[in-house]
Structure 1
Amino acid sequence: MATRQDYDLDHIRLTDRPLIVCDIDEVVLEFISPFAAFLRSQNHELLPRSFHLHGNIVSTLDGSVPEAAIVSAFLDAFFAAQDKWQMPAEQAVETLHRLADDADIVFLTAMSPRHRIVRRNLLDRFDLHFPMVATEGPKGPVVTALHGARPLPVAFIDDIERNLLSVREHVPDCLLLTMLANADFRALAPEPCAGIRAVAGWTEAFGLLQAHVCADVRSQTG
């Protein structure tokens, strides 16, 4: 089983409360809209034709589709300058602070650790001071290492199915929510697999998360 040391989690101190683990891009921070704006500054456009980045980015100069390596370079450049482009998703800041009254919040972002400091500073600017883990590997083992064998509710929110399935495999009792801030790409997203609940935004997510978290509070005080 993965340990906290395997993922450099020693800086995260959980309390004796439920745990909510949140992806960042398209969940806590907008990603699609600012990335599309960044691409326009690079003479490219992101077209909402399918639920993918690769193949949907085209040159505004000649209509060509860039190779995967170029798309990866665009993403790396965007994340290096994310503090100039990204903003919180609608109701994300307010809702997370409300949830923090009853649960610990940890951000788990799929990002190269070399961009960690820029992202940390960006989150802090928006009063999102919750601890953060940056990883390029599967998320299920990280959630396992975070939560351990604690007999407390745990929830996970992400926009990518493989991350949700990874957590479902490693933490079977976890509440799994899929969320996308961008309405155009949300409409293109595949139907979620069994055990994963799609939510349109933080207003809808709040009710589900609060019920999951507060179920434990009620069981202790009932």
Structure 2
Amino acid sequence: MNKPLIITDCDEVLLRMVVHFRDWLGEEHGVDLDLTRGWAEGMRRRGADEPMKVADMWTLLDGFFDTQMGRQDPIPGAVEAMAALSDHAEIVVLTNLPHHRQNDRVRQLRGIGIDVPVYCNQGPKGPALQKIMVERGEGRPAVFIDDLAIHIGSVAEVAPHVSRLHFVGEPGVAPHTTCALEAGHAHARIDQWAEAVPWLMQRIGASE
């Protein structure tokens, strides 16, 4: 395929996740999640002064994806953005979920009208992105979109020629997220799809 390649994250880019995780923690587990803090630091059992142990955090996160993916709804404008961009680019999703959740994520995205290949990954996304580009064909413009600065930085290190958009679609989280643009790892920080689409069109050499 000769179209440019867009490799995008899912949670907080295409789908809202953290607010649903927060609500489920409170409803089912008596755990409060402060979205202004980091995950482990922001999670506390009600009545406890100490943050939750990291191992317990991961157990609860696994439990959410085991049973609650149906709660997730689209980031405003995401479905329309993917439809508009798909006329000009090949789109794939690179999500940090275990590989056994790949089919669940594919079905989840299809359910909201986003039917694209899904790659699962663990850890920094730079190496995974590089493998995707080799598999799907190099030598064409490529853009990476993610809500976490660590993954933007990983791609900047491994594939510096790839355009990088730092996008945090959840307004309760965006103001408290470390900005990859400030570190020089992102080419832009945009948190609204209405603003992101024109920027992405320009990066892939297309017009709306």
- TM above 0.5: yes
Cα distance in 1, alignment partners of residues 52 and 125 from structure 2: 29
Classify the secondary structure of the residue corresponding to 1:28: coil
Partner of 1:27: 13
Partner of 1:151: 139
Are 1:194 and 2:184 counterparts?
A: yes
Partner of 1:10: none
TM-score using structure 1 length: 0.84
Cα distance in 1, alignment partners of residues 14 and 179 from structure 2: 21
- Number of aligned residue pairs: give it: 201
Name the aligned partner's letter for residue 193 of structure 2.
Answer: W
Name the aligned partner's letter for residue 84 of structure 2.
Answer: R
CA contact (8 A) 2:130 2:159 kept: yes
Partner of 1:208: 199
Are 1:86 and 2:72 counterparts?
A: yes
Q: Deviations over 1:66-92 (max 9, x none)?
A: 211111111000111233221111110
Partner of 2:121: 135
Partner of 1:184: 172
CA contact (8 A) 1:23 1:157 kept: yes
CA contact (8 A) 2:105 2:118 kept: no
Cα distance in 2, alignment partners of residues 152 and 158 from structure 1: 20
Q: Kindly state the Cα deviation for residue 63 of structure 1 after the two structures are TM-superposed.
A: 5.3
Partner of 1:12: none
Classify the secondary structure of the residue corresponding to 2:39: coil
1:28-47 alignment runs, 5 A limit: 28-41=14-27, 42-47=29-34
Name the aligned partner's letter for residue 36 of structure 2.
Answer: R
Unaligned segments of structure 2, at least 5 residues: none
Cα distance in 1, alignment partners of residues 70 and 47 from structure 2: 24
Superposed CA RMSD: 1.7
Q: Deviations over 1:42-80 (max 9, x none)?
A: 211111332x10110122355553211111111000111
Cα distance in 1, alignment partners of residues 68 and 121 from structure 2: 17
CA contact (8 A) 1:82 1:119 kept: no
Cα distance in 1, alignment partners of residues 68 and 205 from structure 2: 35
CA contact (8 A) 1:38 1:85 kept: no
Are 1:49 and 2:36 counterparts?
A: yes
Stretch moving more, 178-187 or 103-112: 178-187
CA contact (8 A) 2:152 2:185 kept: no
CA contact (8 A) 1:95 1:202 kept: yes
Higher RCO (C-alpha under 8 Å, 6+ residues apart): 1
Partner of 1:118: 104
Cα distance in 1, alignment partners of residues 54 and 128 from structure 2: 27
Partner of 2:58: 72
Classify the secondary structure of the residue corresponding to 1:55: helix
Call closer, same or farther: CA 1:163–1:195 in 2, change over 3 Å.
closer
Q: Deviations over 1:80-106 (max 9, x none)?
A: 123322111111011011000000000
The sequence identity of aligned pairs, in percent, is 26
Name the aligned partner's letter for residue 89 of structure 1.
Answer: I
